[in-house]
Amino acid sequence: MYLSNDWKSEIFAKHGGEATNTGSTEGQVALFTARIAHLTGHLQKNKKDFSTQLSLQKLVGKRRGLLAYLYKKDINRYRAIIKALGLRDIIK
């Protein structure tokens, strides 16, 4: 189920190190990516849902900000999360 506690803890365990480490940058990026994928699927069915479209744009901006922070902080962690999530074809 979307946004269940088990689903979130699974994402954080896979990308954040532990299921309880919800503040890690990698875990947050992974959670945002999963939510973006869910909202994208919703918007493909409901093209005129503009409030969801705005929420999607905000989520993409938050993920972009976290990725920019990670890029400046530690390039190797940035490259690892990009590769794990399959976000970009070209890795800087």
Helix (H) or strand (E) holding 36: helix 25-45
Domain that holds residue 81: 5-85
At 16, the pLDDT band (50, 70, 90 cuts) reads confident
- Domain containing 15 — which CATH number? 1.10.287.10
In a domain, 81, yes or no: yes
Q: Specify the pLDDT at position 43.
A: 96
| 48 within domain boundaries | yes
pLDDT value, residue 63: 96
The Cα 77–Cα 49 span in angstroms is 35
**pLDDT tens digits along 41-92:** 999 999 999 999 999 999 999 999 999 999 999 999 999 999 999 998 655 5
Tokens standing for residue 62: 């938050």
Q: Which two tokens stand for residue 22?
A: 């919800």
Q: Compute the distance between CA of residue 29 and CA of residue 81 in angstroms, rounded to an integer.
A: 8
Q: Is residue 91 one of the residues assigned to a domain?
A: no
Count the domains in the chain.
1
